C-alpha cells in the first residue's frame, strides 16, 4: 500500500476532534472529506467543509464551488476529477458553528496532524491555490491579512496563487477590489489550463 493510500485510510477514520464537535450546537461526528489521489497537478488548499459539504461528503458542494470553478476556469467534471485536482483543506471536517451562526475556524490540530504528511506524499503538484487566510499563513508563512496577501499574488505566481474565500460573504470584497477579477483571474485561468493540459 502506498504512503498516500495509507494516509487516506487513516484520515477517513480520524476521530481526533470527536469531543470538540460533540460540544458544538450541531453535536456532529467527525466526517473527514477526503478528496485527493496521486497524479493531481492542481492542489486546492482550502479552509474547512461547511455543513452542506459535511452532509454531501463532497468538497465545495455549494455556491462557493460554483464561484471557485469560475475563478479557475474549469467545469464541474474537471474540478471533481481527483486524478487532476486534489482538494486538501486546513481541516477535513466541518468545525461547527459559533454563537453568531458562522463556521468555526478549522481546528489547528488537523493541519498539525495531517497536512505535512499528505502534502509530502502527494507527488507532481505543479500549481497550488491558497484559499483564505489559514491556508495562506500555513503555506506562505505570511502574517498579513487576506487582502494584502492576495494583492501580492505576483510574488508567488506561477506556482502558488493566494485567493480570498469564494463565499458569498466576500461579494463586497470582490466589488472593492476590482483588480482581482481584472488582473489576477486571467493569469490564474491561463496557468490552470496550462497545468491541467500538461
Ligand atoms: S478535523 Fe481533522 S483532526 Fe479533526 S477529526 Fe476531522 S480529520 Fe481528524
d(CA 83, CA 104): 30
Q: What is the pLDDT of residues 134-149, one digit of tens each?
A: 999 999 999 999 999 9
**159 exposed, middle or buried (CB, 10 Å; 0-12, 13-18, 19+)?**
exposed
Q: Which domain holds residue 123?
A: 3-197
Number of domains in the chain: 1
Residue bearing the CA closest to ligand 1, atom 4: 17
Q: What is the pLDDT of residue 112?
A: 98
Q: What is the pLDDT of residue 2?
A: 82
Q: What is the pLDDT of residue 132?
A: 97
Residues of the chain with pLDDT under 70: 1
> Contacts from 63-66 at CB under 8 Å and sequence distance 24+?
63/167, 63/168, 64/165, 64/166, 64/167, 64/168, 65/166
Q: What is the pLDDT of residues 63-98, one digit of tens each?
A: 999 999 999 999 999 999 999 999 999 999 999 999
Tell which atom from ligand 1 comes closest to the C-alpha of 11.
Answer: 7
Q: What is the pLDDT of residue 31?
A: 98
CATH of the domain at 109: 3.40.470.10
The verdict on the CB of residue 47 being under 6 Å from ligand 1 is no
**How much distance in Å is there from the Cα of 185 to the middle of ligand 1?**
32
The verdict on the CB of residue 113 being under 6 Å from ligand 1 is yes
Amino acid at each position: 500500500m502506498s504512503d498516500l493510500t495509507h494516509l487516506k485510510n487513516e484520515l477517513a477514520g480520524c476521530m481526533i476532534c470527536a469531543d470538540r464537535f460533540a460540544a458544538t450546537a450541531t453535536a456532529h461526528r467527525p466526517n473527514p472529506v477526503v478528496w485527493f489521489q496521486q497524479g493531481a497537478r492542481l492542489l486546492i488548499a482550502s479552509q474547512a467543509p461547511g455543513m452542506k459539504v459535511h452532509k454531501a461528503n463532497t468538497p465545495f458542494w455549494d455556491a462557493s464551488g460554483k464561484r471557485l470553478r469560475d475563478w479557475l476556469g474549469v467545469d464541474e467534471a474537471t474540478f471533481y476529477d481527483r486524478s487532476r485536482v486534489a482538494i486538501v483543506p486546513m481541516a477535513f471536517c466541518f468545525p461547527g458553528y459559533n454563537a453568531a451562526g458562522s463556521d468555526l475556524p478549522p481546528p489547528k490540530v488537523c493541519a498539525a496532524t495531517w497536512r505535512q504528511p499528505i502534502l509530502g506524499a502527494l507527488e507532481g503538484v505543479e500549481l497550488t491555490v491558497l484559499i483564505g487566510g489559514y491556508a495562506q499563513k500555513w503555506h506562505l508563512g505570511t502574517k498579513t491579512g487576506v487582502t494584502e496577501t492576495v494583492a501580492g499574488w505576483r510574488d508567488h505566481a506561477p506556482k502558488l496563487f493566494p485567493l480570498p474565500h469564494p463565499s458569498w460573504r466576500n461579494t463586497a470584497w470582490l466589488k472593492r477590489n476590482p483588480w482581482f477579477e481584472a488582473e489576477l483571474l486571467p493569469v490564474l485561468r491561463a496557468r490552470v489550463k496550462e497545468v491541467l493540459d500538461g
